[in-house]
Structures are given as structure tokens and as C-alpha cells.
């Protein structure tokens, strides 16, 4: 188990009663030579205590260390290429927390991103502040890209919902069209019979609730006559 520490940015927090905690990050160097890499086995725990996606935190290490990174959502395996000491990873994580997790106003880790016209803001649940992130940092490109992907996925699922609703409505629409057909067919029959055979039209109007079947056969016979 990783040691539990206070969530701190640039300034260390000595308060043992501090309520925001996270596990200390663990780095494990694997392989050798050109294939040497550092795995972070507790990335999911670390990221979830910061309320940030593990892919984003992994990417931050890549930006800061100038290394390739991979994060696999299925296996939850986070890799930073190259050999990196755990102490370095923890220092970089403090930079991430300072820039992307802590509220710039009250310094509490209670923020979520609010993205508006390509600018990322911190929305603070603790003090209500909304402050811009450091948009100079390379990670912002990644965050905006992820945001777009999520937005697209949401729009797609919404579209699907709409389509499902439409397909459910189809039978009702058919029913309505039938009604319209019945109305026009009776009107047409009324018009044609009224001009040629007024007495038939009178009897037809006394029987307004004919079934469409009957009205259709009646129309057929009047056409042959």
C-alpha cells in the first residue's frame, strides 16, 4: 500500500488534520536499454483522489518530462517512457496539482473544469471562484481534445435517443395518415355522389361512421355506375 499524504501543490501542507488526502505515487522502472520505461501501478487511485482522469495525469508526466506516455483504460496501466525516480514523479505531481487541481483563489482541491470557447476554467465548489487555468501549458491541448471527444460521444448518444423515439412514433404516424385518408376518401365520395345522385349522398351523411372498407367498396361501385 502506498503511503497516504496531503494533497498539496507548490506549498507543502503540514496539517495532519487536513481532509484532502491522496496516496503517494509509485513508480516502477521496467525493462532496460531503449525499451526502459516507468510504470505507475497506482495511477487510478492517485487520479481518483484528485478527481481527474488517470489518462490526463499520465499525459501531464509526458508533457513535463518530455517523454512518451501511454494509458490504457481497459487494463488501467500507466506508462511513462524512460526511467524516472519516484521522487521526481511526486514533485511533478505537485506541479500538476498546483496548476490543474487546486482552486487558484482558495487553494482547495475542490475544482472541476469548465470549458468555454477553448479556454479551460477552474470551477471551485468550495469558494465558487471561476479562474482560468494556465493555458500556456501543453496539457491544455490534451484536455481540450478529450473534452471534444466526450462532447461528440454525448451528442451521438443523444442522436441515438432521438432516433429511438422517432422509430417508436412511427406506428402512431401511420395511424394518423389512415385517418386522413379516410376523411379525404369520404369527402371525395360525398362530392362525386352529391352531384350525380343526391339521394345516395343524403343516406351516406346519415351514416357517418362507416368503416373505411365499406366506404372504399362503395366508391368503387359508384365509379362503375
Nearer to Zn ion, 39 or 105 (CB): 105
For 190, phi then psi, to 5°, come to: -55, -45
- List the grid coordinates of 148: 471534444
Q: By three-state DSSP, how is residue 127 classified?
A: coil
Q: What is the DSSP letter of 52?
A: S
CB burial readout 156-180, b (16+ within 10 A) else e = eeeeeeeeeeeeeeeeeeeeeeeee
- How many residues are recorded in the chain? 225
Q: Spell out, one character per residue from 162 to 201, where the chain touches Zn ion: x when CB under 5 A holds, - when not.
A: ----------------------------------------
36 binds Zn ion (CB under 5 A): no
Interface size with Zn ion, residues (CB under 5 A): 7
| Residue ranges in 112-151 that form contacts with Zn ion under rule CB under 5 A | 124, 126-127, 129
Cβ atoms < 10 Å from Cβ of 35: 8
Q: How far is the CB of 27 from Zn ion (least distance, A)?
A: 31
Q: Is 103 in the site for Zn ion (CB under 5 A)?
A: yes
Please tell me whether residue 105 binds Zn ion under the rule CB under 5 A. Answer: yes
**Minimum distance from residue 123 beta carbon to Zn ion (Å):** 9
- Write the interaction track for Zn ion spanning residues 44-83; mark x where CB under 5 A is met and - where it is not: ----------------------------------------
Question: What is the spatial distance between Cα 214 and Cα 45, in angstroms, rounded to a whole number?
Answer: 73
17 and 23 Cβ atoms separated by less than 8 Å: no
- Residue 85 Cβ vs Zn ion, minimum distance, rounded to whole Å: 32
Residue whose CB is less far from Zn ion, 42 or 111? 111
- Contact residues toward Zn ion (CB under 5 A) are 103, 105-106, 124, 126-127, 129
Amino acid at each position: 500500500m502506498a503511503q497516504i499524504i496531503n494533497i498539496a501543490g507548490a506549498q507543502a501542507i503540514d496539517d495532519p488534520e487536513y481532509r484532502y488526502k491522496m496516496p503517494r505515487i509509485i513508480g516502477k522502472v521496467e525493462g532496460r536499454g531503449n525499451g526502459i520505461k516507468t510504470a505507475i501501478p497506482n495511477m487510478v487511485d492517485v487520479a481518483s483522489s484528485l478527481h481527474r482522469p488517470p489518462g490526463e495525469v499520465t499525459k501531464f508526466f509526458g508533457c513535463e518530462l518530455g517523454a512518451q506516455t501511454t494509458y490504457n483504460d481497459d487494463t488501467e496501466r500507466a506508462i511513462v517512457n524512460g526511467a524516472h525516480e519516484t521522487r521526481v514523479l511526486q514533485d511533478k505531481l505537485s506541479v500538476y496539482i498546483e496548476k490543474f487541481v487546486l482552486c487558484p483563489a482558495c487553494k482547495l482541491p475542490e475544482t472541476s473544469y469548465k470549458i468555454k470557447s477553448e479556454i479551460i476554467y477552474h470551477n471551485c465548489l468550495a469558494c465558487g471562484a471561476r479562474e482560468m487555468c494556465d493555458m500556456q501549458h501543453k496539457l491544455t491541448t490534451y484536455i481540450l481534445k478529450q473534452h471534444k471527444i466526450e462532447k461528440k460521444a454525448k451528442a451521438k448518444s443523444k442522436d441515438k435517443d432521438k432516433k429511438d423515439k422517432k422509430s417508436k412514433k412511427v406506428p402512431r404516424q401511420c395511424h394518423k395518415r389512415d385517418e386522413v385518408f379516410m376523411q379525404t376518401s369520404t369527402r371525395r365520395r360525398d362530392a362525386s355522389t352529391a352531384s350525380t345522385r343526391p339521394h345516395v349522398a343524403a343516406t351516406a351523411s346519415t351514416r357517418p361512421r362507416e368503416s373505411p372498407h365499406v366506404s372504399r367498396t362503395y366508391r368503387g361501385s359508384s365509379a362503375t355506375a
